Amino acid sequence: MGNTEKDIATLLEKRKSAMLGGGQKRIDDQHNKGKKTARERIDYLLDKGSFHEFGTYATHSLTTFGLDKQRFVGDGVVTGFGKIDGRPVALFSQDFTVMGGSFSEVQSQKISRIADKALEAGIPLIGIGDSGGARIQEGVRSLAAYGEIFVRNVMCSGVIPQIQIILGPCAGGAVYSPALMDFIIMAGTSYMFLTGPQVIKTVTGEEVTTEDLGGAAVHTGTSGVAHLAADTEEDGLDMIKTLLSYLPQNNNEEPAPIQTSDSIERQEKSLDTLIPDDPNSPYDIRDAISAVFDTGSFFEVQPDFAANAVVGFARMDGRAVAIIANQPAFMGGALDINSSDKIARHVRIADAFNIPIVTFVDCPGFLPGTGQEYGGVIRHGAKILYAYCEATVPMVAIVTRKAMGGAYLAMNSRQMRSDLTFSWPSGQIAVMGAEGAVNILYMKDIKEAADPKARKAEIIESYRQEFLNPYRAADVGQIDEIIVPHETRPRLARALEVLRTKITQNPPRKHGLMPV
C-alpha cells in the first residue's frame, strides 16, 4: 500500500507539532525572556539549509505523575546533523518550552543516537543547553538517561571535539555532560548549578540565589567550570564557530589550514622594547602573542579565570597553534592552583587534537604560602608537568624573562619534552631570584663583612651576572637559541615547519595516572 494523502497529512501535522515544541505561548514566553528557541538557535549556528533533523517524532509513552497529559512531539530536544563553515557536525538543542527542557529517557535516546554517529563519523558534537535537569516525573529513568550521555561524552573525549553552549538554566544532572565536554560557553541568560534551587543567606545577611551563584561571571571567573562567556546568544554561538576553526574534525586529523596574507618573515620591532627595564615591572604577554602570530588570529580561552596564565589558540602561517603563557601583568605571572589546572587542561586538549603548542615563559615560580600548600598546589602543579610530559605534538617554548625554579621546569622545559626552546636576551634562568639565593647562600659571609650592605650588593651582582641571563642555560643546552625579540615570528614559523612531521610515541598502557 502506497502513501495516501492522509498518511502524508498526518506526518505534516506531526511535523508542525514538533516545530512548535511546547506550544506558541511558551515560545512567546521564551522570546519575552530574550531567548531564542531551540530551533532558532540551530538556524543561527549552522550553515544555511544544512540541518538534517533525526528523531523529530520521538515521544515518551509514560503515564506517571501526569506525564500522559504532557506528550510533546520531539520530547524537548532537537537533534541532527548540519554544517558549520562547510564542515559536518552533530548537534542537539534542548527546548525549554517543553517541560523546561527537562532531561528525559527519550531525550537521552535521541542525543545518544547522534553522539554515537558523531563518534563513528569523526565529527564534532555540539550541545545547546537550556534545561531544568532530570525530568522529575520520570524518576530513575531520567537519571539513567543522564548516565547514557555521560558515558558517551567520555567515549568521545579526545576523539572528537565536544562543545557545549549554555543558553538558559543548566540545572542538576544537566551540568555534568557539559563538564565532561571540552569547552563550555555561557551566554545570554545562562546559569549553571548542581544543587538547588534555594536561597542562601550569607554571613552579611544578604540573600543569594542559585542564579547569583551560577551565572557566567561565576563560572568563567571564579569556579573555572566554563571557558567562555558572551553577552548575547548570537555572540556565544559565534564563539562555537571560532573555536571549531582551530580544531580538527577528530583526533586523526589536523586542524584545517587557512590562507593568510601575513608573511612569516614579518619582524615585529615592538617586541624589542616590550620587556621593561625593571625586571619586576609588569607587561602584558598578550601583546607578544598578538605580535608574533598571524594578525588577528589570537583567540583567548578562559580569559577571566586564573589571569596569571594565558591560554588560547592562534595561527602561524595559517595553521592553528595552541598558546600557553605566563602573564606577568597579573600576580607577576606566578603559577598557582587555578593556573595549573587551566594550563594542564589546555595542553591536553591541544595534544589530543594534534595542535602544536607554543609556550611563553615569564614566571618567578609557584606562589608560596599555606593557602596554596593546603589547597594542594603540589598535586595541581604536577598536572602541568604531567600534561607536557605526556604530550607528543610539536612543542616550542620561548623564555621572555623569568624562568625560575619549578616554574622553569614546569613551563615546558627541555626535560618536559619541549622540542625547541628559544630565549630572548632578557631571559633569566635560575633556581631562584638573586635576593633569595644570596640570603640563603651568603648570610654568614654578609654578616661578617666589614660593610655587609656593600658585600651583599656585590654578591647579588655576581649572581645576576652568572644566572640572570640566558647564556648559562644555552651553554648547557637548556636553551637552543637566543634570539632578538623581533625575530620571533620568522624563527618560530620555521621551527613549527620543521616539527610538523614530528613522530613521538608514549609507551603502550591502559592509561596514565594523571594527578587529579
Task: Please tell me whether residue 136 binds ligand HXC under the rule CB under 6 A.
Answer: yes
Task: Please tell me whether residue 60 binds ligand HXC under the rule CB under 6 A.
Answer: no
Q: Which residues are catalytic?
A: 172-173, 406-407
**Per-residue CA distances from 25 to 20, 42, 287 (Å):** 10, 20, 50
Q: Least distance from C-beta 130 to ligand HXC, angstroms?
A: 9
Helix, strand, coil: what percent of the chain each, to 5? 45, 20, 35
H helix intervals, 370-470: 370-374, 377-390, 405-410, 434-448, 452-467
Scanning residues 309 to 348, which ones bind ligand HXC (CB under 6 A)? none
Site size for ligand HXC, by CB under 6 A?
A: 17
Q: Which is nearer to ligand HXC, 21 or 169 (CB)?
A: 169
By CB under 6 A, name the one of 133, 161, 255, 364 that touches ligand HXC. 133
**50-68 burial code (b ≥16 CB/10 A, e <16):** ebebebbebebebeeeebe
Q: Which stretch binds ligand HXC (CB under 6 A): 96-104, 157-165, 370-378, 440-448?
A: 96-104
What is the Cα–Cα distance from 89 to 291, expressed in whole angstroms?
A: 33
What is the Cα–Cα distance from 242 to 438, expressed in whole angstroms?
A: 49
Amino acid at 430: A
Task: Please tell me whether residue 197 binds ligand HXC under the rule CB under 6 A.
Answer: yes
Task: Please tell me whether residue 200 binds ligand HXC under the rule CB under 6 A.
Answer: no
Q: Which is nearer to ligand HXC, 173 or 215 (CB)?
A: 173
Strand partners for 128: 93, 165
Torsion over CA: 370, 373, 376, 377 (sign): positive
Do 220 and 304 form a contact (C-beta atoms < 8 A)? Answer: yes
Q: Which is nearer to ligand HXC, 54 or 176 (CB)?
A: 176
Task: Please tell me whether residue 54 binds ligand HXC under the rule CB under 6 A.
Answer: no
Q: Which is nearer to ligand HXC, 102 or 372 (CB)?
A: 102
By CB under 6 A, name the one of 82, 173, 365, 470 that touches ligand HXC. 173
Amino acid at 165: I
Q: Which stretch binds ligand HXC (CB under 6 A): 166-174, 271-279, 302-310, 348-356?
A: 166-174
What track of x and - describes contact with ligand HXC for positions 100 through 119 (by CB under 6 A)?
A: x-x-----------------
Do 232 and 188 form a contact (C-beta atoms < 8 A)? Answer: yes
Q: Which is nearer to ligand HXC, 134 or 244 (CB)?
A: 134
Binding interface with ligand HXC (CB under 6 A): 99-100, 102, 132-137, 143, 146, 169, 171-173, 176, 197
